Amino acid sequence: MMGIKIRSFSPLPDDLSLEDLVPNDHFYRRLQARLDLSFVRELVGQLYARGGRPSVDPVVFFKLQLVMFFEDLRSERQLMRVVADRLSVRWYLGYDLFEPLPDHSSLTHIRDRLGLEVFRRFFERIVQECFEAGMVWGEELFFDATKVQANASIDSTRSRSLVEGRLDEHLAGVFPEEAPPDPEERSGVVSGFVGPEGDERRELARKNVLRHRWIEKAGRQERGVVRWGYTRMADLRVSTTDPDSSPMYQKNNRSGRLGYLTHYAVDGGRARVVLNVLVTGAEVTENLPMQEMLFRSTFRWRLSPRSVTGDAAYGTRENIAAIEKAGIRAYTALLEQGKRTSLFTIEDFLYDAERDLYTCPAGETLRRQGHDRRGGYVRYAVRTSACMECPLKGKCTNSPKGRWLSRGLEEEYLERVRTYRRTAAYRKALRKRAVWIEPLFGEAKEWHGSRRFRLRGLQKVNAEALMIASGQNAKRLLTFRSGGPRMTAMVAALRPPERPSEHPLYRHRTIPARRFSTRCYLPRRWMNKGKRKGQSLAELRPFFVATLAFWSSHTLAVGLMFWLTRNRLVGSYSFFTATSLSKLSW
């Protein structure tokens, strides 16, 4: 008989509570028990007045942000619809069945009221929870960045000078001869100083004033500074929808898009805790914010890492020198100059530190000719006559004045990093980087909507990235347990690569797998070996008979001892002993 379901709803009993409707092993119960967010009220207490109408509890606001992360939701309106339908989320927020929920527009106003600094302090408090749980190792740090699309179209870009009302600057670039003189360089005033005095103090003060603080500026680019002698496209074009985004080009997409660059600093421990996050414009290269993120993380969490690992984008002279001066090993890949040109590079020349000169492949000496303090390099050159008569000139230089080299003032740190490449620790760190930090970006993009920011502006996208990183750390805080790495890729990265042994006894040939068969392959190999030596089948017959006798006697001995053991006539130890003796007696 087919049943028919009649839609009939009776009122809920008075003794029924939401506490009884949520299973005891539910995810949000675990999250509530493990992560106490009562500290949020201390972070935002100064932003609220003492009197007036009560607002939405800031703890509820940050719980809603975590729910948005775990449920992969893209808007506050969609979030509140999910909260209204899910009993477990209602229980996690502390709202009863018939209690009205906050309006979605209130979440937007609360986010604007709190500001970026509160979101960063919330992220750091989650990291502190990971420290207290013993999840942070602190011996290794990994740096990487990924591209994230902006919530704006490339068609919304216009001329930056016209949009920002800087017509005078635009005309000064078109007609430089009529441009007004530049204002004098700003100078910093320092009073009540403690530390070095005199010229050194003034030089440090000048550097501190002129230094760009990426985290304080929320990753904003220095528009007045032009690096490496080229003009950025973001300096000429700006989006009217999201002015802080910049053109971004990806390998699998020929048409340009607007986007940002999300930078991560990750601990080298098994839990892979994210220690620092920063979002910059897509035109900001990865190496620029690295030093500030590194030293902020080490100072904030009192870390003394022994190594810092990054790809070739972080292997600049400034970063390597700063890391090595701090007593940390810079495990960064260096760009190979030999791949850019067919001529001899500086790596083909031999440097003598005591005499401060270079020796070329032909044996000629390149002596010091001068230095450029502003550029940060020293120039070495060879005699023009010696270079013109050299038979290797075609492989060395095309200049009629001879070959010359530029050595950085801190080149010794780069040479130290080149020596790291021959160590097993360096190769292990680069293998580990690929499976420690890059999967975090993949996790955020595949499961938590980080392929495209839903907010606009550097302040808001930084807050969004901080909440995503906080959610990732919270996931690891819930699932953390002692032990080794569980992922196969992590184990493979930590395992040193297999190398063939140099000892001849340990060298072996890999035998391909064969289908199972009861046939004996040993006489066949002997017969094939005998045929190669010119022996006949009659000469190989004794080998075949001996092998057949061996396997027959061995099988009978094993069968007999097994029967005796089964009938408790002899012990199990005697069974294995007799089996081994049958092989040795043969």
pLDDT in tens, 50-87: 888 999 999 999 999 999 999 999 999 999 999 999 99
Distance CA 442, CA 316 (A): 26
Count Cβ atoms below 10 Å from residue 135 Cβ, excluding itself.
19
Residue 280: closest CA among 211, 214, 224 = 214
pLDDT in tens, 526-552: 445 444 445 555 666 676 777 777 777
- Name the pTM for this structure: 0.74
What percentage of the chain carries pLDDT values higher than 90?
A: 49
CB 27 within 8 A of CB 76: no
| The pLDDT of residue 255 is above 80 | no
CB 274 within 8 A of CB 266: yes
Residue 278: closest CA among 146, 413, 168, 430 = 146
pLDDT in tens, 23-55: 999 999 999 999 999 999 999 999 999 888 999
| The pLDDT of residue 427 is above 60 | yes
Distance CA 71, CA 69 (A): 6
Per-residue pLDDT, averaged over 429-450, amounts to: 94
The residue count of the chain comes to: 586
Q: What are the backbone dihedrals phi and psi of residue 251, each rounded to the nearest 5 degrees, phi first? A: -65, -40
What's the pLDDT score for residue 271? Answer: 93
Distance CA 493, CA 433 (A): 9
Exposure pattern of 522-539 as b/e (b: 16+ CB <10 Å)?
ebeeeeeeeeeeeeeeee
